Chain A
Amino acid sequence: MSLSVGSSLKAYLKLTVLFALLGGILVALGFLIGGVSLAFWFLLFALGFNFLMYFISDKIVLASTGAKIVSEEEAPRLHAIVSKLASQAGIPKPKVAIVKSPQPNAFATGRNKEHAVVAATTGLLNIMDDDEIEAVLAHEIGHVIHRDMLVSTVAASIATAISYIGNLIAWMAILGGLGGRGRDDSARGLAALGAAILAPLAATFVQLAISRSREYYADEASAVLTRRPQSLISALTKIEQMIYRGAPLNASPSTASLWISNPFKGSSLLELFSTHPSTENRIRRLEEIARKMGYYI
């Protein structure tokens, strides 16, 4: 395993395969409704909508999480840590925001390195030591470096297009526009309906798999940037304990995938349905990275 702050070849390959899967589902659905060109128009519409969201996403995210941009005078410790990490990562210093919440958590948003915002909760600042805060924010800087806002926007666009087509097929079936009088036509109609139900589900799974893989790479970036994977292990453990003992964060549940740890998770949630890998798996990977760096864990 090679370690890097930027996306590695393996990360690019994995992302390409997952996007190819999403594209494959879209094209297959396109054939079912009578032509790839219709699927293309749906994709174009979804891309247009999601890219508009991509440009205003930082404002939406700040509003739906209750995060407030703070000056250096208001949060000197947080600014100092973000400055240090941005300079180590070779990116412009992101804006810094605070969410006034007892649950320890953090997120990054913004469409690119120049418009990035890194936010931390007051709970995180009070519970973690400097090394742990640095590890958490390095994970967020990792998302900025990897352009994960762009990645998730493209994934969401394709998944949206797939769900539009799924809905169209379902409505065609309801209104009698699918299949015909012959046995073959009916079978084709049923197959299309089945695909209309299963394809959006499959697309969601692929989208979630992309989200989970980006979390692992951001963890790796944190380990490389800080040279202390143990600090992220310790921070993730503290966050996990607080989330399970307390209650969810007062933010919109639609922001779940943004945070370093899903603030709304329940213990019985299967990883397949989750935006984040389990903390257990993340810690296992970080321990692997630590061993590779020469730490004995």
Chain B
Amino acid sequence: MSSLTVSVDYSNVYEDKPKFFRNLIKVNVNSDTTIENIKSTVLNYLNIPYEDLYYIEFNGQKLEDKQTVNSLIISKNAVLLLKCSNFDELYSRMRRDRRL
């Protein structure tokens, strides 16, 4: 099973604004790593527990959590985007959990 390193851009985890500088993290994956695994690795790194509010986008397409890396045509320099589906809900949960 070959392993690969993919980059995940997490610049927009707190707001959906165009960024001049990108925040990237490299994640080691293999062919059966799921999108959910990648998402959870990055969110864990950022200490954001609201996984259901986030999804990963690749080449403009929203990926399903259960999809594996194998099902994607990912090159060495591929950048996956970590995005939030509902910022209002994110900030409301952060307030509820005394994170803000």
Contact = CB atoms under 8 A, between A and B. Distances in A.
Interface of A: 70, 74-78, 98, 100-103, 122-123, 125-127, 245-250
B51 interface: no
Contacts of B19: 250
Contact of A76 (B14, B15, B46, B98): B98
Contacts of A75: 95, 100
B100 to A, nearest CB: 4
B100 A103 contact: no
How many chain B residues sit at the interface, stated as a range, is 20 to 34
B79 to A, nearest CB: 12
Contacts of A76: 95, 98, 100
Contacts of B46: 102, 123, 126-127
B24 interface: yes
Contact of A102 (B11, B20, B100): B11
Given A74-B95, A122-B100, A127-B46, 11 more contacts: A77-B100, A102-B13, A126-B48, A126-B99, A127-B47, A246-B10, A246-B24, A246-B25, A247-B11, A250-B17, A250-B21
B23 interface: yes
B62 interface: no
A78 B21 CA distance: 26
Given A123-B46, A126-B47, A126-B48, A77 B21 contact: no
B10 A102 contact: yes
B27 to A, nearest CB: 12
13 contacts: A76-B100, A100-B14, A100-B15, A102-B10, A102-B11, A102-B14, A102-B23, A103-B23, A127-B46, A246-B23, A246-B25, A249-B21, A250-B20
A247 B19 CA distance: 11
B8 to A, nearest CB: 11
Contact of A247 (B14, B22, B91, B98): B22
Contacts of B11: 102, 247, 250
Contacts of A249: 21
Contact of B100 (A74, A101, A123, A245): A74
Contacts of B25: 245-246
Interface of B: 10-11, 13-15, 17, 19-25, 46-48, 91, 94-95, 98-100
Contacts of B48: 126
Contacts of B17: 250
A213 B21 CA distance: 29
B49 to A, nearest CB: 9
Contacts of A127: 46-47
Contacts of B15: 100
B89 to A, nearest CB: 15
Contacts of B14: 100-102, 122-123
A100 B17 CA distance: 10
Nearest to B12: A102
Contacts of A77: 98-100
A123 B12 CA distance: 12
A76 B17 CA distance: 25
A76 B91 CA distance: 12
A125 B95 contact: no
B13 A125 contact: no
A246 B21 CA distance: 10
